[in-house]
Amino acid sequence: MAAGIASGVTGKLFAFMQGPSGINACLLAMQQAGNPGGGFAPAIEVIAQNVAPELAEKSLAMRYPTANIYCEKVANTLKEKFRSFSGVVQMVIEVRYSQDVLEGLENALEMYADAVAQAVDGTRGDWGDGMFYSGGYEVSFGAVKRGGRGFLQAARIEFAVGVSRS
pLDDT digits 0-9 by tens, 58-77 = 676 778 899 999 999 999 99
Domain extent at residue 104: 2-165
Give yes or no for residue 8 having a pLDDT over 80: yes
Geometric angle at alpha carbon 127, from 124 and 129, rounded to 5°: 155
Q: Which helix (H) or strand (E) holds 87?
A: strand 85-99
Taking the C-alpha atoms of residue 31 and residue 151, their distance in angstroms, rounded to an integer, is 24
The answer, as to whether pTM is greater than 0.95, is: no
CATH number of the domain within which 80 lies: 3.30.2000
Query: Per the structure, how many domains does the chain have?
Result: 1
pLDDT digits 0-9 by tens, 94-145 = 999 999 999 999 999 999 999 999 999 999 999 999 999 999 999 999 999 9
Taking Cα atoms as reference points, which of 10, 9, 39 lies closest to residue 27? 39
Higher pLDDT, 9 or 54: 9
Taking Cα atoms as reference points, which of 99, 108, 101 lies closest to residue 37? 108
